[in-house]
Amino acid sequence: MKETNTFIPFGGPDVHTDDMAAAAAIVLPICYEVGASYGTGSGQGPFHLLTASVELETMDEEMFVDWGEIGIHTVPAFVPSETPEAAVEEIKNKAGHYLDTGKFVLALGGDHAITIGLAAAVAQRYPEVGILQIDAHLDLRNEYHGSRYNHACVMRRVAEDIRAPFVQVGIRSFSPEEAAYIRANDIRPFFAHETADPSDNVWMDAVIERLPETVYVSLDLDGLDPSFVPGTGTPEPGGLTYRQVVELIRRLGLRRRVVAADINELAKIEGTQVSEFTAAKLATKMFVHFLK
């Protein structure tokens, strides 16, 4: 594991809270990409998201909250080992250090495999935690590209190793192996075609009802339709809208205690800033609605 020399605080130097003890939230960039299944570039995703965050206005247009005054402390980015098993332990230990402060931790990936170590660290400190996964994919393969710790195996490790309850939203791509697994284990994802009507948000309440009081959120950016976030490794059509994801974040923040989250799978497209700007904006929505 190594830290990088590039430091970009979320929101820029004027937003950065120098004293971690005085902050309400800690931003942890994790530069990790191993075994990508299609497009690449997520390893540098944290830097692109942080760069975009500097260009955001700090007033939230819905809540009239200045998220720049919430108290956000960004820590230096680090690069875990390229061996998946070692990376999981390193991420778990790194995240655990910051979770022990009792503050909200937002990790920025990196490919979705970062969630395995992060979720393990959260579950160790909050045994009652449930996980909300926003994603195009089930990520329930037992092994992929020769590893049980690949991004396609995240929720299988959550189910069988971490043993935390979870709810999956936005799903529209999975393998026969995963289809058999959800049938055998009575896992009921919220498929994208079931949430397609932007005027009908009743399903969001059903999502929240299935989560315990304490929640960890894992936001894979391919959960959104690629018209909103084209810059991701596997941009599946037919995903959630930006406003749907924001509304789900808002409702979850009202009714549950969210202790940590991650945003992952951002892959820069040269010549456009849409994806990283949208990802950074979603991070601000987490700060506004998860920190009170």
Q: Which residue type is seen at 3?
A: E
Cα angle for residues 263, 264, 265 (degrees, 5° grid): 150
Can you tell me the distance from the alpha carbon of 50 to that of 68, in angstroms, rounded to the nearest whole number?
14
Question: Per-residue pLDDT for the chain (292 aa), expressed as one digit of tens each?
Answer: 566 668 999 999 999 999 999 999 999 999 999 977 677 889 999 999 999 999 999 999 999 999 999 999 999 999 999 999 999 999 999 999 999 999 999 999 999 999 999 999 999 999 999 999 999 999 999 999 999 999 999 999 999 999 999 999 999 999 999 999 999 999 999 999 999 987 889 999 999 999 999 999 999 999 999 999 999 999 999 999 999 999 999 999 999 999 999 999 999 999 999 999 999 999 999 999 999 7
Is residue 106 within 8 Å of 262, Cβ to Cβ? Answer: yes
Name the residue range of residue 46's domain.
Answer: 2-290
Collapsing DSSP states into helix, strand and coil, what is residue 224?
A: strand
Dump strand ranges (E) for the chain.
2-3, 25-29, 72-74, 78-79, 104-108, 130-134, 166-171, 190-191, 214-220, 257-264
What's the domain count of the chain? 1
Distance of CA 28 to the CA centre of its chain: 12
pLDDT at residue 200, as a whole number: 87
For position 114, which CATH number holds?
Answer: 3.40.800.10
Helices in 186-273 by DSSP H: which ranges?
202-209, 242-255
Collapsing DSSP states into helix, strand and coil, what is residue 281?
A: helix
- Torsion sign (Cα): 20, 21, 26, 30: positive
- Torsion sign (Cα): 89, 90, 91, 97: positive
Can you tell me the distance from the alpha carbon of 247 to that of 129, in angstroms, rounded to the nearest whole number?
21
> Which of these, 215, 233, 224, lies nearest to 109 by C-alpha position?
233
